[in-house]
Amino acid sequence: MSLTPARRESLWAYAFITPWLIGFMVFTAGPMAASLFFSLTEYNIVSPPQWLGLTNYVNLFQDELFWHSLSVTFKYAAFALPLGLVFSYLIAVLLNQKIPGVNVWRTIYFLPSVVAGVAVALLWARIFDPKFGILNPFLAQFGIKGPGWLADPDWSVPALVIMSLWGVGGNVIIYLAGLQGVPTDLYDAAKVDGATAWQRFRHVTLPMTTPVIFYNLVLGLIGAFQYFTEVYVLTGGAGGPVRSTLFYNLYLYQNAFKYFHMGYASTMAWVLFVIVLLLTLLIFRSSDTWVYYEGQLKGR
């Protein structure tokens, strides 16, 4: 064989990553280019795409439902993300303490994260039911008259936020891994210096786990724009009552697979892509001021 060892190594490398290279071309790069093309056409799958130029984009920005679905999505994200972040972080901090039976607690707290999807949405539909559910009778014990939740356009999004908080266990797992990665000698050093529990948390734990917070924040944001299953199941795909839960992804789904406006839905997909990209960049840029990477210090 006349191959140099370096050439042979490269060939092996490319041979091993071939499945991904093919998958990337066929299921990611190719479709992305195609959906950019579709976004400039009228396309209903049955007949060939008709060139429209930027018409879809112009129409989209004049589409009230587009703006409405954006605001529903942002409204949900504005509450679900910060609340989820704080809750899951606090739970992770508590679950990281040396207390008796901590594994039992961890087991319970992670449990909801494995039972996602349709069944859970159906369960919460019953919990929120004003008459036969358990939430409003519970609130009534504190003298609070619970709203109609999923039946009330003002309370349907808050209900979805509450539902999402029940499943924060998935984020807790990631935070806990981050907390366990904080070197114990830092805590010991802080204790020697007489730092209180709060000071140790504020000046050791929090800075050391900002990368994990950052990771959860970015993925949570993308997740809000993918939000679909729960709202489809709870509203039968309609986004009701009176479109109060018409999330961006649900409106996109309706355009694509209910009305077969594949071109218009592709436009929505690309606008979504740009929005998510911008928001992610924004978080990345701001992260310089608040995310602390231990590795960065080593270069100094």
Partner 1 sequence: MSPSLTPAARAPALRRLFEGLKGQALLLKSLTTLVLAAGAGVIMLPLLFLLSTSVKDRDQLRQSPPPLIPTALTLVEVNGKQEPLYRVTVDGQTREMALIKNRPGGKGLFLDPANPSQTYELVIAEQTALTHLEIHWENYAEALRQMKFDKLLVNTLLVTFLGMAGMLFSCSLVAYGFSRFRAPWLNIFFIILLSTIMLPGQVRLIPTYVFFNKLRWVDTLLPLIVPQFFANAYDVFLLRQFFLTIPLELDDAAKIDGASPLQVLLYVILPQARPALVSVAIFHFLYAWNDFYEPLIYLHSPQNWTLAVGLQTFNALYAVNTHLIMAASAVMILPPIILYFLAQRIFTQGVVFSGIKG
Greatest alpha-carbon pair distance for the chain in Å reads: 84
Site residues (CB under 8 A) for partner 1, limited to 107-136: 107-112, 114-120, 122-124, 126-127, 131-134, 136
Q: Does 269 bind partner 1 (CB under 8 A)?
A: yes
Which lies closer to partner 1 via its Cβ, residue 76 or residue 225? 225
Instruction: Tell whether residue 142 is a contact of partner 1 (CB under 8 A).
Output: no
User: What are 152's two structure tokens?
Assistant: 């009330």
Q: Is 287 in the site for partner 1 (CB under 8 A)?
A: no
| Contact by Cβ (8 Å): 230, 163 | yes
Residues 209-268 that bind partner 1 (CB under 8 A): 211-212, 215, 218, 222, 225-226, 228-229, 232-233, 236, 249, 252-253, 256-257, 262, 265-266, 268
Report the first-to-last Cα separation within the chain, whole angstroms: 47
117: region left, alpha or beta (phi > 0 left; psi from -120 to 50 alpha) = left
* Least separation in angstroms between CB 71 and partner 1: 18
Cα separations (Å) of 85 from 52, 194, 198, 217, 221? 43, 29, 19, 8, 11
- Residue 166 interacting with partner 1 (CB under 8 A): yes
Q: Interaction with partner 1 in 50-89: which residues (CB under 8 A)?
A: none
Please give the residues from 28 up to 47 whose contact with partner 1 meets the rule CB under 8 A.
28, 30-32, 34-35, 38, 45
Report how far Cα 139 is from the mean position of its chain's Cα atoms.
29
Q: How far is the CB of 176 from partner 1 (least distance, A)?
A: 6
Residue 104: Cβ within 10 Å count? 9
Nearest distance in Å: CB 23, partner 1: 3
